[in-house]
Chain A
Amino acid sequence: MNVFLDFEKPVAELEGKIKELRHLSDGSEVNVGEEISRLQAKAETTLRQIYGKLTPWQRIQVARHPERPHFSDYVTALIEDFVPLAGDRTFGDDRALLGGLGRFRGRSVMVLGQEKGSGTEGRVKHNFGMAQPEGYRKAVRLMEMADRFRMPILTFVDTAGAYPGVGAEQRGQSEAIARSIEACLRVDVPLIAVIIGEGGSGGAIAIATGDRVLMMEHSVYSVISPEGCASILWRSADKARDAAEALRLTAEDLKELKVIDRVVPEPLGGAHRKPDDAVRSLGDAIAETLAEIENEGAPSRRLARREKFLAIGTALA
Chain B
Amino acid sequence: MNWLTNFVRPRIQAIVRTRETPDNLWTKCPSCGQMVFHRDLAQNQFVCTNCGHHLRIGPNERFERLFDNGTHTRVPVPAVPADPLKFRDTKRYSDRLKDTRAKTGEEEAVVVAEGTIGGRATVMAVQNFAFMGGSMGLAAGEALIAGARRAVANGAAFIVFSAAGGARMQEGILSLMQMPRSIIAVELMHEARLPYIVVLTDPTTGGVTASYAMLGDVALAEPGALIGFAGPRVIEDTIREQLPEGFQRAEYLLEHGMIDMVVHRHRLRDTLVKLVTLMVPEERAGAAD
Residues of chain A at the chain B interface (Cβ within 8 Å): 162-166, 168-175, 177-179, 181-182, 184-186, 201-202, 204-206, 209, 221-224, 229, 232-235, 239, 242-243, 246-249, 254, 257, 259, 306, 309-310, 312-317
Task: Say yes or no: A309-B174 contact (C-beta < 8 A), given A164-B238, A233-B90.
Answer: no
Residue of A nearest to B237 (CB): A164
Task: Say yes or no: A175-B179 contact (C-beta < 8 A), given A202-B207, A224-B169.
Answer: no
Task: Say yes or no: A173-B229 contact (C-beta < 8 A), given A209-B180, A309-B181, A313-B84.
Answer: yes
Further pairs besides A178-B211, A235-B90: 19, Cβ < 8 Å: A169-B247, A171-B256, A174-B213, A177-B229, A178-B183, A178-B210, A202-B207, A204-B176, A224-B169, A233-B170, A242-B89, A246-B172, A247-B172, A254-B173, A306-B187, A309-B177, A309-B184, A314-B142, A317-B84
Indicate if the CB atoms of B187 and A185 lie closer than 8 Å.
yes
The contact sample of 20 A-B pairs, CB cut-off 8 A, is A164-B230, A168-B229, A168-B230, A169-B247, A175-B210, A202-B176, A202-B211, A205-B176, A206-B210, A235-B90, A248-B173, A249-B173, A257-B84, A310-B145, A310-B181, A312-B181, A313-B177, A316-B84, A317-B81, A317-B84
- Measured in the bound complex, the distance between the Cα atoms of B248 and A243 in whole Å is 29
- Measured in the bound complex, the distance between the Cα atoms of B184 and A184 in whole Å is 11
Indicate if the CB atoms of B172 and A178 lie closer than 8 Å.
no
In the assembled complex, the CB of A314 is this many whole angstroms from the nearest CB of chain B, namely 7
| Nearest 3 CB-CB pairings of A with B | A164-B230, A174-B209, A177-B210
In the assembled complex, the CB of A130 is this many whole angstroms from the nearest CB of chain B, namely 9
Interface centre among A169, A206, A306 (most CB of B within 10 A): A169
Residue of A162, A184, A201 near B176 (CB, 8 A) is: A201
Residues on B with beta carbons closer than 8 Å to the beta carbon of A257: 84-85, 172-174
Indicate if the CB atoms of B258 and A175 lie closer than 8 Å.
yes
User: B16 at interface (Cβ–Cβ under 8 A)?
Assistant: no
Residues on A with beta carbons closer than 8 Å to the beta carbon of B227: 174
Indicate if the CB atoms of B89 and A202 lie closer than 8 Å.
no
In the assembled complex, the CB of B67 is this many whole angstroms from the nearest CB of chain A, namely 28
Indicate if the CB atoms of B183 and A182 lie closer than 8 Å.
yes
Indicate if the CB atoms of B235 and A165 lie closer than 8 Å.
yes
Indicate if the CB atoms of A175 and B214 lie closer than 8 Å.
yes
Indicate if the CB atoms of B175 and A246 lie closer than 8 Å.
no
Indicate if the CB atoms of A174 and B172 lie closer than 8 Å.
no
- Measured in the bound complex, the distance between the Cα atoms of B229 and A172 in whole Å is 8
Residues on A with beta carbons closer than 8 Å to the beta carbon of B174: 257, 259, 312-313, 316
Task: Say yes or no: A222-B256 contact (C-beta < 8 A), given A181-B211, A314-B80.
Answer: no
Interface centre among B138, B179, B210 (most CB of A within 10 A): B210
Residues on A with beta carbons closer than 8 Å to the beta carbon of B26: none
Residues on A with beta carbons closer than 8 Å to the beta carbon of B248: 169
In the assembled complex, the CB of A182 is this many whole angstroms from the nearest CB of chain B, namely 5
Residue of A nearest to B174 (CB): A313
Indicate if the CB atoms of A223 and B173 lie closer than 8 Å.
yes
Indicate if the CB atoms of B229 and A162 lie closer than 8 Å.
yes
Residue of A nearest to B258 (CB): A172
Residue of B nearest to A178 (CB): B214
- Measured in the bound complex, the distance between the Cα atoms of B205 and A201 in whole Å is 13
